[in-house]
Structure 1
């Protein structure tokens, strides 16, 4: 059964589909050109800019590239997945193969499983059973990861370890399905890092540690508290009224409940749909609304926002 909000959303999206902006997706095409061009241009003028300004710019491009990859996963800017994949296949962000991220993220969009550690690949919670056997140092890291600054410092390391660990366990079970994906990714990454160092004088180690890791940290500001445990699965998804810079960086995915409701809606239409149904969405979120990422930084910079152990709400 569809609620009036579901019907209203479908009517809104149907209207938007008839407009040239949706059909052409020129904002996404501009984004693709801008991110790839900006990344390359920054490397080209590295000596002119200086190491620190150029590094900061590269952190931005790589974090923005991850937001672009998310947009590509959801069917933009073309109707052909193979073509969309080409725009996000390069390992500019280093740590994960695009195909692995795509598969896990699409599983994440089963809203009924959100935040459940056993089912949601993007959950930052652990199960009570896992917590019971966890060492004290690892528990301390999990608590630290629940603070804003802790998330930026160790969040990428925990996510990388989790993804790589899952790949290692899969291989140990004799499951070779993703071996080719990882080998292609590592081969492309090695070639990319060699090219960056030989052509632009930026060392591979600097790119990995001073650019890619901070870019992961920057990207993780969005996911720091975008889901919470709640009985109603729609009340697990945040509406974050972020400022302009973060809205641009995260491609409006701060309006996360709207994105989960309409995952095929392009990034530049999320604010329009939210604005047209603001009161309904605010009610649907069950009060899970945040007044920008600065609020999270001020209130939870060094204080855990909630517990690492999931309360196991169905």
Structure 2
């Protein structure tokens, strides 16, 4: 339990974990069952639904699936890591192997390294030296990526290019674990494509480019202003008081400081813990508060939210 929580906060978290819901984690089990059933059901029903209605339903489902995978890698709904991995290994979102996502994201939870390029695997910032050695075209793309529409359009392609570059380097170096991870992921992905091609009206290329990539783009809305570079680590994670459907699609990860401070707290308890001590969380964040994603759209449709260069890296 973090040592900065007062006694009342500690008691509240412990009490929640000891409840039947906290011990059984039935909301996460229900969510898992729902996502798997909906994915299979939508594809099987695509003959009747039609291609584009299926597409429009599949995109938010994949966004939700990525949020579920995030919950699994943090130790839910079971204490057995191998079982959580098996539950979350399905490559519905295609691009990121579960193992890679798990390892990089857990490294991202070293709060003292948050936002620092080269140390935080999920940092969206560049060091001054790196910035100075990039082309003017790339710098323009990174500035556009700092607007919210730019993040939606460019965020996924930039992330996938970086992923391909890192995968190529690790495979070229002959890293055994990288080869095992990517070959296993490729095998399951091909099996998934076989199911899509054989049992649905959704072409594989359509699923790949017009469902999985847009889903990744929607998920980029959450990470757009999740962290900021500032001196104190606890003031680097946002509290975004987003409403439904965003908060549900992201499983309340918009309350990001609460998640970083209590990474073992299941998704369905995050709002309760935040609301019970809202003023304390806001004070701890240094006022790093956003009133929903609509505010970000209005303020940063054209204006970059900050610089792509990290101010101190």
TM-score range, shorter chain: over 0.9
Give the match for residue 185 of structure 2. 185
- Structure-2 residue corresponding to 1:10: 10
* Structure 2 residue 160 is the aligned partner of structure 1 residue 152: no
CA distance in 1, matches of 2:105, 2:5: 25
Alpha-carbon offset, residue 51 of structure 1: 1.7
Shift of 1:240: 0.1
Q: Quick one: distance in 1 between partners of 2:216 and 2:271?
A: 25
Is residue 162 from structure 1 mapped to residue 167 from structure 2 by the alignment? no
Equivalent residue, structure 2, for 1:312: 312
Cα offset, 1:8, TM superposition: 3.8
| Cα distance in structure 1, aligned partners of 2:37 and 2:302 | 37
CA RMSD of aligned residues (A): 1.3
| 1:2-37 C-alpha deviation (Å, 9 max, x unpaired) | 766354432221111221110111111110011111
Q: Structure 1: any 5+ residue segments left out of the alignment? A: none
Distance (Å, rounded) in 2 between the aligned partners of 1:173 and 1:130: 23
2:29 is aligned to 29
CA distance in 2, matches of 1:109, 1:225: 16
CA distance in 1, matches of 2:140, 2:238: 26
> Normalising by the residue count of structure 1, what TM-score does the alignment of the two structures yield?
0.96
Q: Please show how residues 71-110 of structure 1 align to structure 2 within 5 Å.
A: 71-110=71-110
Q: What is the aligned partner in structure 2 of residue 45 from structure 1?
A: 45
CA distance in 1, matches of 2:8, 2:83: 32
Residue aligning to 1:126: 126
**C-alpha distance in 1 between matches for 2:10 and 2:159:** 35
Unaligned runs of 5+ in 2: none
Relative to structure 1, is the Cα distance of residues 232 and 182 closer, same or farther in structure 2, using a 3 angstrom cutoff?
A: same
Deviations 1:44-79 (A, max 9, x none): 111222222110100011110000000000000111
Instruction: Decide whether the 8 Å contact of 2:43 with 2:199 is kept in 1.
Output: no
Shift of 1:166: 1.2
Quick one: distance in 2 between partners of 1:267 and 1:173?
A: 38
SS of aligned partner of 2:100: helix
- Which segment drifts farther, 221-230 or 167-176? 167-176
The whole-number CA distance in structure 2 between the counterparts of 1:192 and 1:82 is 21
Query: Is 2:280 the partner of 1:280?
Result: yes
Query: What's 1:19 paired with?
Result: 19
Q: Helix, strand or coil for the counterpart of 2:176?
A: coil
**Aligned residue number for residue 208 of structure 1:** 208
Distance 1:147 1:201 in 2: 36
Aligned to 1:63: 63
Q: Could you state the TM-score of these two structures normalised by the residue count of structure 2?
A: 0.97
1:276 and 1:218 map into 2 onto residues whose CA distance is 30
Distance in 2, Cα, partners of 1:200 & 1:170 = 35
Contact 1:5 1:280 (8 Å CA) reproduced: no
Separation of aligned partners in 2, 1:213 and 1:109: 25
Return the alpha-carbon distance in structure 1 between the equivalents of residues 20 and 120 of structure 2. Answer: 36
* Aligned residue pair count: 312
- 2:137 corresponds to 1:137: yes
